[in-house]
Amino acid sequence: MSDDLQASYSGVYEGRIGFGARPALILIDFVAAYFEPESPLYADVDDALAAALILREAARRASVPVIYTQVVYHPSLWDGGRFAQKVAPLAGFAKGHRYGEWARGLEPGEDELVLSKQYPSAFFGTSLASTLTAAGHDSLLITGLTTSGCVRATCVDCCSHGFIPIIIEEAVGDRQEDPHRANLFDMNAKYGDVVSLSEAIASIGG
């Protein structure tokens, strides 16, 4: 962080919310499109998936609910709206396309929730907020792809819906380091807390 940036944010964007009492874990869009080199959305994010899988096992041991999201469109993409118009490679998320399949090692458990979405936020147009509220959860441990896209959108909406966003630094990823780091910085400054994988595991273990 540059001295100018530090000075600009110092005393303004330094708040911490802390971990909630009843978290849920979300894994956002860990699908084949980001892991297969021939895909136009390939992002080289195997490390983020590995970290998310470690956290998932800790969550399962601690009986913390696990939620997954994936983008699924009608074959014609007409439910993709402006998002699909803007980002042509989203055609790979048409129902039945292999790029929309789960990344290797990420098959959801039978008792775990899978949400289909058509836009960046896991909250927009889904039952996520209602599900968390009804079950008494106050916070969301956020992992997934990509940091500057669906992770950020979910973080902002998480905060806007009154839940605590906890972003796991090692378990989110992007196709380029600069937008990844910039969005981690901004989410941590304004919307939620960016924490390490070890901190997240300790919080749910305790």
Active site (catalytic) residues: 150
Task: Name beta bridge partners: 145.
Answer: 173
Alpha helices in the chain (DSSP H): 3-9, 46-61, 81-86, 128-134, 152-160, 177-190, 197-205
Q: What are phi and psi of 155, to 5 degrees?
A: -60, -50
Dihedral angle sign, alpha carbons of residues 174, 104, 196, 14: positive
Q: Which residue has the tokens 């074959």?
A: 75
Distance CA 189, CA 73 (A): 33
Distance CA 144, CA 29 (A): 6
What number of H helices and E strands is found in the chain? 7, 6
